[in-house]
């Protein structure tokens, strides 16, 4: 067993070295996704303001960072530019605009101009009426929420993430303090 332990440590070191050193082919793509291409912004200023307000209301700052602190709006813009096709991009933008339209008719103001407390009350009602009913809204919410929990603070400060757990513990106690594991492939 000792030998295996040592081997494992050596392996971990070499993996760490690899992360530092290797020029991996997907690096460029990763960078592209993080920082939307210079020049024309991926989304115009009013749309960025709207998605920021929606993301902030969905996942606000509490005792941990919220969507704005972890950069969800910029990542969302990056995904619309580098991942979504034209049709889905339009659907996401329409789902955002629909929130704004509803705010105007139901709360009397564009969503971004509502005070924070009203935003939350409005979006709670809107969410109840639209989640799992309105496919475009459901996808929009899933995407914004996913970008938050996939972010480093979302995964490691709000939830818990171990890139290399090193063990499978099939049964550990669950207490009111237990945080969920982040990452993909977690059930």
Partner 1 sequence: MFDAIVIGSGMSGGIAAKELCERGLKTLVLERGRKIEHGADYNDWMQPWELPTAGQVPEDVLEKDYPIQRQCYAVNTATQQYWVKDSQHPYETPEGKPFSWIRGYHLGGRSIMWGRQTYRLSEMDLSSNARDGHGIDWPIRYNDLAPWYDKVETFIGVSGANEGLPQLPDGKFLPVMPMTDGEKLFKAAVEKNFPDRKVIQGRCAHLTEPQPHHIELGRNPCQYRSLCERGCSFGAYHSSLSSSLPAAQRTGNMTLVTDAIVHSIVTDPKTGKATGVRIIDRLTKQARTYEAKVIFLCASTIGSAQVLLNSRNDANPRGLANSSDQVGRNLMDHVYGPTVMGVMDGPDTYHRGRRPNGLYIPRYRNVESQNESYLRGYGFQGGVMRQGWRGVAGSEPGVGKELKERTRHPGPWVARLSGFGEMLPNPENRVTLHASKVDEWGIPQLHIHCEHGENDKALGRVMLEDAKAMLKAAGATITYETGRLHPPGLGIHEMGTARMGADPKTSVLNKYNQAHDVPNLFITDGAAMVSSGCQNPSLTYMAMSARAAYHASEFLKAGTI
Of 6-45, binders to partner 1 (CB under 8 A) are 7-8, 11, 14-15, 18-19, 22, 24-26, 29-30, 32-33
Residue choice 53, 58, 95, 96 for contact with partner 1 (CB under 8 A): 58
Pick the closer one to partner 1 by CB: 35 or 108: 35
| Near partner 1 in 157-186, by CB under 8 A | 158-159, 161-174, 176, 178-186
Residue choice 2, 39, 45, 85 for contact with partner 1 (CB under 8 A): 85
Q: Is 162 helix (H, G, I), strand (E, B) or coil?
A: coil
Residue choice 74, 78, 95, 100 for contact with partner 1 (CB under 8 A): 78
Contact 100, 53 (CB under 8 A): no
Query: What is the distance between the terminal CA atoms of the chain, rounded to a whole angstrom?
Result: 31
Could you say whether residue 123 binds partner 1 (CB under 8 A)?
yes
Could you say whether residue 137 binds partner 1 (CB under 8 A)?
no
Query: CA 107 to CA 63: how far, in whole Å?
Result: 29
Contact 112, 50 (CB under 8 A): yes
Could you say whether residue 149 binds partner 1 (CB under 8 A)?
yes
Residues contacting partner 1: total by CB under 8 A: 75
Pick the closer one to partner 1 by CB: 88 or 104: 88
Pick the closer one to partner 1 by CB: 108 or 179: 179
Residue choice 42, 68, 88, 136 for contact with partner 1 (CB under 8 A): 88
Query: CA 137 to CA 130: how far, in whole Å?
Result: 7
Query: CA 78 to CA 42: how far, in whole Å?
Result: 7
Pick the closer one to partner 1 by CB: 45 or 53: 53
Residue choice 13, 35, 46, 83 for contact with partner 1 (CB under 8 A): 83
Classify burial at 68, counting beta carbons within 10 Å of its beta carbon; exposed 0-12, middle 13-18, buried 19 or more: middle
Contact 89, 80 (CB under 8 A): yes
| φ, ψ for residue 160, nearest 5 deg | -125, 135
């Amino acid at each position: 067993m000792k030998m295996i332990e040592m081997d494992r440590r050596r392996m971990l070191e070499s993996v760490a070295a690899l992360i530092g050193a290797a020029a991996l082919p997907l690096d460029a793509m990763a960078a592209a996704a993080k920082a939307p291409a210079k020049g024309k912004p991926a989304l115009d200023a009013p749309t960025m303001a709207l998605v920021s307000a929606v993301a902030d209301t969905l996942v606000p700052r509490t005792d941990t960072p919220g969507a704005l602190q972890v950069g969800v709006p910029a990542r969302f813009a990056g995904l619309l530019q580098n991942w979504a096709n034209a049709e889905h991009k339009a659907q996401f933008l329409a789902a955002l605009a629909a929130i704004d339209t509803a705010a105007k008719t139901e709360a009397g103001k564009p969503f971004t101009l509502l005070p924070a407390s009203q935003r939350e009350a409005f979006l709670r009602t809107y969410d109840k009426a639209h989640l799992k009913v309105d496919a475009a809204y459901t996808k929009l919410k899933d995407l914004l929420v996913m970008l938050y929990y996939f972010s480093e603070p979302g995964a490691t400060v709000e939830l818990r993430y171990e890139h290399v757990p090193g063990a499978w513990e099939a049964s550990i106690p669950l207490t009111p303090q237990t945080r969920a594991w982040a990452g993909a492939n977690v059930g």
